[in-house]
Amino acid sequence: MANISANELKREIERVLPQKLGSIFENYSCNLEKLLTPLKWKPIVLLIGNYSSGKSTFINEFLGREIQRTGQAPTDDSFTIITAPEPGETEGDITGNSIVSDDRLPFGVLRRFGEKLLAHLLMKKVDIEHLTEIAIIDTPGMLDSVTEKDRGYDYLGVIGEFAKISDLIVLMFDPHKAGTIKETYQVLRMTLPATTGEDRVAFVMNRVDECESLEDLVRAYGTLCWNLSQMTGRKDIPRIFLTYAKTPDRKIPPGFEVWEKEREELKKTFLEAPRMRLFHMLQEVDKAVRELSLTIKAMDGFKSVFINRLKGFGKAIGISGLLGFLLGDLVMNLAIDYPHDPFLTSLVTGNFSSDKLLWPVIWLLLVLGVGSLYFQKVGFPKLIDSYSRDPDSLVKLESAYEKDLWDRIRSKVSDLIRKKARHQIWIRHKKNLEKTEGFLKVDLQQFYEKVSRF
Ligand SMILES: Nc1nc2c(ncn2[C@@H]2O[C@H](COP(=O)(O)OP(=O)(O)OP(=O)(O)O)[C@@H](O)[C@H]2O)c(=O)[nH]1
Ligand SMILES: [Mg+2]
């Protein structure tokens, strides 16, 4: 029942967002479709961790079938997406090439990692009820002394792309290698912080049955905590699930049975993935709308600079136009003795007639015409060039969070000024900003409340 509501809510977000902010996203060349498309497929659970930590064994146990190969030493060097066949389809395997070419799946981005990765990418469709709601991704174990050249593709990059679209990331360790593997270090230090939220990661120390005693286990747990804090920089210790696979022929050290229920809890979190997907979606929407708001602020800043510059220029042209009007024909008269009776002298001598206005008006129009042409062809392009090179002064960044946002959108703002400046000066930015801020304050908060009620 909860899942039906989760799906309904997901559809509501997908409907409300374009309805309320679709045209605003478009105004600033932001692609709303691109934001939500990767999250349209099933909720995803990603299992990563050092080799032989028991990832595949855990998946098989969760699914109740021997789907994945298991074994000591690095066993599996493929990324395997395990899910149920669509209605009407049968069980079977799908190769990497077909996976990245299928527009219904969110894996098209993986194509850029090249053929070598595609040869290590596989989808297994198995008819298991849990998998109608979620997909599980098993990954090659992390190794110590391995380089991109050895693997043939950018392993950490691939993990990063999977992490972006995953709703739950299970990071598995074992007591023998409690956080000491080099690739694990890189994933925790760089890949995960750049691609996902801390709340989406579940830490697991598996194979704890291999500790000889409780003392041994406490030592391994302490080592893992210490290593994690070194790697993540976090001061608090995240929850770490302590688990092991039960096998009839292996004797569990006394007192270890208490951790059996943690394994069951971990399995339950897999089934939480649809709810986590909703949070994930809201976080993405939240981030995108905040980025949009800051973009709008920058474009509003640009519009103000433009208007000020235009006002200054207008003043200068106005004064020049007036001088042209009053003195243009007088200067002509002094230089080429034509016209014989310029406008100002005709006023002084009392010879004024309306035909004396011809040259002053011509001068006025000439100055205005040349001036506005200069602004369009030289002044405005200069303004565009200088602010597209350095848009920093367009926004006031009030918090570290805003500074991060700005770093992410700065080059997009530059592009927008370079390519769409003329369009941007006609947009009513303040009105758009009111709408995006209103969405963040009202609609998004309502969605968060609804999701937290599940
Ligand atoms: N004692 C013990 N052995 C386990 C446990 N879980 C898995 N194993 C064994 O550890 C070995 C490695 O397990 P896998 O499931 O293949 O590990 P993996 O993390 O998928 O390894 P790679 O695919 O190589 O990264 C296998 O021989 C399993 O039988 C456990 O909880 N306790
Ligand atoms: Mg495996």
What's the CA-to-centroid distance between 338 and ligand 1, angstroms? 101
What's the CA-to-centroid distance between 107 and ligand 1, angstroms? 27
Count: domains in the chain: 2
On whether both 260 and 378 belong to a single domain, the answer is no
Q: Flag whether 30 is in a domain.
A: no
- Ligand with minimal distance to 74 CA: 1
On whether both 191 and 328 belong to a single domain, the answer is no
Q: Flag whether 68 is in a domain.
A: yes
- Ligand with minimal distance to 59 CA: 1
Q: CB under 6 Å to ligand 1: residues?
A: 51-57, 70-72, 74-76, 140-141, 206-207, 209-210, 244-245
Q: Are 55 and 119 in contact (CB under 8 A)?
A: no
For residue 411, give the nearest of 38, 29, 112, 32 by alpha carbon: 29
DSSP conformation letters of 404-449:
HHHHHHHHHHHHHHHHHHHHHTTS-HHHHHHHHHHIIIIIHHHHHH
What's the CA-to-centroid distance between 2 and ligand 2, angstroms? 31
On whether both 112 and 77 belong to a single domain, the answer is yes
**H helix runs in 178-272, sequence order:** 182-186, 192-195, 214-232, 260-271
Q: What's the rounded Cα separation, in Å, for the pair 121 and 110?
A: 10
Residue 382 DSSP symbol: H
Which residue minimizes the CA distance to atom 30 of ligand 1? 207
On whether both 225 and 335 belong to a single domain, the answer is no
Q: Flag whether 277 is in a domain.
A: no
Query: Which of 242, 271, 300 is at the close of a domain?
Result: 271
Which residue minimizes the CA distance to atom 9 of ligand 1? 54
Sorted by sequence, the CB contacts under 8 Å of residue 68 that are 6+ apart come out as 56, 57, 59, 60, 76, 80, 82, 138
**Domain harbouring 197, CATH code:** 3.40.50.300
On whether both 326 and 392 belong to a single domain, the answer is yes
What's the CA-to-centroid distance between 170 and ligand 2, angstroms? 13
* pTM of the shown model: 0.83
- Mean pLDDT per block of 10 residues along the chain (454 residues) reads 68 91 95 84 94 94 94 81 94 96 94 95 95 95 73 90 94 82 79 81 93 91 87 80 88 86 95 90 92 96 97 96 96 94 94 94 96 94 96 94 93 96 96 97 93 82
Q: Flag whether 82 is in a domain.
A: yes
On whether both 76 and 160 belong to a single domain, the answer is yes
On whether both 65 and 214 belong to a single domain, the answer is yes
On whether both 157 and 67 belong to a single domain, the answer is yes
Number of C-beta neighbours around residue 166 at 10 A? 27
On whether both 324 and 373 belong to a single domain, the answer is yes
What's the CA-to-centroid distance between 174 and ligand 1, angstroms? 9
Nearest ligand 1 atom to the CA of 74 is 24
Nearest ligand 1 atom to the CA of 141 is 25
What pLDDT, on a 0 to 100 scale, did the predictor assign at position 324?
96
What's the CA-to-centroid distance between 74 and ligand 2, angstroms? 8
Query: Which of 238, 271, 304 is at the close of a domain?
Result: 271
Q: What's the rounded Cα separation, in Å, for the pair 342 and 327?
A: 9
What pLDDT, on a 0 to 100 scale, did the predictor assign at position 179?
64
Residue 50 DSSP symbol: B
Query: Which of 271, 301, 317 is at the close of a domain?
Result: 271
Q: Are 399 and 360 in contact (CB under 8 A)?
A: no
What's the CA-to-centroid distance between 68 and ligand 2, angstroms? 7
Which residue minimizes the CA distance to atom 32 of ligand 1? 207
Q: Flag whether 180 is in a domain.
A: yes
On whether both 123 and 173 belong to a single domain, the answer is yes
On whether both 89 and 236 belong to a single domain, the answer is yes
Mutation test of ligand 1: which of 57, 63, 136, 170 has the most ligand atoms closer than 8 Å to its C-beta?
57
- Ligand with minimal distance to 140 CA: 1
Q: Is 265 helix (H, G, I), strand (E, B) or coil?
A: helix
Q: Flag whether 34 is in a domain.
A: no
Can you read off the two tokens belonging to residue 440?
């963040």
Domain that residue 438 falls in = 290-452
On whether both 200 and 82 belong to a single domain, the answer is yes
Q: Flag whether 138 is in a domain.
A: yes
Nearest ligand 1 atom to the CA of 57 is 15
Report CA-CA distances (Å) from 123 to 80, 135, 136, 306, 383: 6, 10, 10, 54, 52
Which residue minimizes the CA distance to atom 14 of ligand 1? 54
